[in-house]
Amino acid sequence: MLDTAEIVALCRAEHGDPYAVLGMHIDADGGLWVRSLQPGALSVVVVDAKTAKPVVALEARAVDGVEGFFEGLIPRRRTAFPYRLQITWESGVQETDDPYRFPTVLGEMDVWLLAEGSHLRPFERLGAHLCEIDGVAGTAFAVWAPDAQRVSVVGDFNIWDGRRHPMRLRRECGVWEIFLPGVSAGAHYKYEIRSHAGHRLPLKADPYGFEAEMRPSTASIVCALPPPVDPSSVPAGDLLGAPMSIYEVHLASWRRADDGGFPDWQRISETLIPYVVNLGFTHMELLPISEHPFDGSWGYQPLGLYSPTARHGNPTGFRDFVAACHAAGLRVLVDWVPAHFPTDEHGLGRFDGQALYEHADPREGMHQDWGTLIYNFGRREVSNYLIGNALFWIERYGIDGLRVDAVASMLYRDYSREDGQWLPNQYGGRENLEAVAFLRRMNEVLGQEHPAADTHAEESTAWPMVSRPPSMGGLGFHYKWNMGWMHDVLDYMTKDPVHRKYHHNQLSFGMMYAFTENFVLPLSHDEVVHGKGSLISKMAGDYWQKFANLRSLYGFMWAHPGKKLLFMGGEIA
């Protein structure tokens, strides 16, 4: 029989190795035991899964006033066999498969690839995956939390009780796993984590969750991993010399639904796609569509990197929207935010009780301006999480390219920091060498796996060779946003025409460096937000003259070397 201390640890959700004691086990004398933790159950009977006949009624053992633990010796049997549990509750009788009779979820190769941070597609193994094991349908859960003392899956299938489904730790890679029979698509879940210090943390959403609840709710939702997109359905890849005219759009505010809420993916497809096509744009760039808790961030503080936001419907709807864009000849770019993440308690911050995805030292791990956390790019599991996410959007949703947000904040350790508020790199410099290595690796992987996919850098400094291959010492992006051109030209256009003859250098200076990078000329959302006003309001003159000036600006922009990007609303001029 099981030791009293272990029973108490199980019943208090403090046991770190539940698979060592729960389920079916052979003792030193060859006896076959079954143990189960079922808080609130009246009785538990073991049933032979093949014959459907009862085998033994487990004995309830209450220890130190703690109840819910059952165990029993299987009579006349010495070898393990498939079984089910017949559980009697006050509300009735339930028959279910025991999660603790199933083998491991992760294969040995997966474990070692995850351990060394080299699994290109970790989303295929981590997260919640609908599957069958030994002919039983259910969901396999796996989450990386190496410093945790105990991790449990909680959800609407187990009344959010962390005692019921504690997970198995694969110590080689720090991943906890469990297969839960009968859990199907649509189930809501989170992870309950007990830190190494013994503290129970706020419930955490799944970092690899493929679907999330509509805010303000924050649970992850069991959802089938989208199948790979057929490459033949995607428009042909861009050549650097081909025309590129990008319409940048924030889906939640481009047009409201009839009831004033968020339009669903079908409505967006029916209205936005023909509008953009008729204007002659070649690309549509979406502000971040990963799940995010705060509407006002416009998606730039994401927490569900693998979940299309629930504001517009389910993941299938987004996949259909991308397919509809492709059918209309539009390529789709998505803003991608690997630079930082918010501190909401259900997110990645101190995920297992320690700084896991972020740096522990706030001089490296906290953005002063935004109050957000910075990824620890030097940790292979973290960089792999992000690179896998880049592949995920391209392979599973057919996204044609990624615009990487806030690259400058990634490249410099002293970004927006005063002296004494940042730590130098190993050579004493201000460059974030780990972030540089991450960006190069990300672009290399995408280039090898999906040569037709584009990456665009929002980078506002003089960092050299942003859009040159890593083999040449570059960062490996296909394009860089030309922020200098944007600032100079907009400043010029705000001046009254009578004064412009003294400032023509603001128009001509861009040609001095126009071919040092593969530039995109961006009149983006950044020029509208934070009280900056619309493009029309920046122009000189009265209302008629403002429109004339803005048309002149667009003529200059479309004739200037560089790809073109215009934020929604700007086209009204």
**Which among 97, 98, 110, 405 is annotated as catalytic?**
405
| Largest distance between two CA atoms of the chain | 102
Strands (E), 74-221: 83-89, 92-97, 127-133, 136-144, 150-155, 168-170, 175-181, 188-194, 220-221
Q: How far apart are CA 406 and CA 337, in angstroms?
A: 8
**Residue 572 Cα distances to 19, 275, 550, angstroms:** 63, 12, 10
pLDDT of amino acid 131? 96
Helix (H, G, I), strand (E, B) or coil at 385: helix
pLDDT of amino acid 29? 83
Q: How far apart are CA 477 and CA 440, in angstroms?
A: 8
**Axis-axis angle for helices 315-327, 380-397 (nearest 10):** 60
pLDDT of amino acid 236? 67
Helix (H, G, I), strand (E, B) or coil at 133: strand
Q: How far apart are CA 237 and CA 327, in angstroms?
A: 15
Q: Would you state the CATH architecture of domain 231-481?
A: Alpha-Beta Barrel (3.20)
Q: Is 458 tagged catalytic?
A: yes
pLDDT of amino acid 240? 78
In the chain, CATH 3.20.20.80 sits at 231-481
Q: Is 134 tagged catalytic?
A: no
Residue ranges of the chain whose pLDDT lies below 50: none
Task: Please check whether residue 444 is in contact with residue 465, taking contact to mean a CB–CB distance below 8 angstroms.
Answer: no
In the chain, CATH 2.60.40.10 sits at 4-97, 108-221
**Which among 458, 459, 517, 527 is annotated as catalytic?**
458
Match domain 4-97 to its CATH number in 3.40.50.410, 3.30.950.10, 2.60.40.10, 2.60.40.1180.
2.60.40.10
Helix (H, G, I), strand (E, B) or coil at 501: helix
**pLDDT tens, residue by residue, 503-544:** 999 999 999 999 999 999 999 998 888 778 889 999 999 999
Task: Please check whether residue 326 is in contact with residue 395, taking contact to mean a CB–CB distance below 8 angstroms.
Answer: no
**pLDDT tens, residue by residue, 23-73:** 999 988 888 999 999 999 999 999 999 999 999 999 998 887 778 999 999
**Sequence letter at residue 558:** W
Task: Please check whether residue 414 is in contact with residue 382, taking contact to mean a CB–CB distance below 8 angstroms.
Answer: no
pTM over 0.85: yes
Q: Does domain 108-221 have CATH number 2.60.40.10?
A: yes
**Nearest residue to 23 (alpha-carbon basis) of 122, 123, 162, 165:** 165
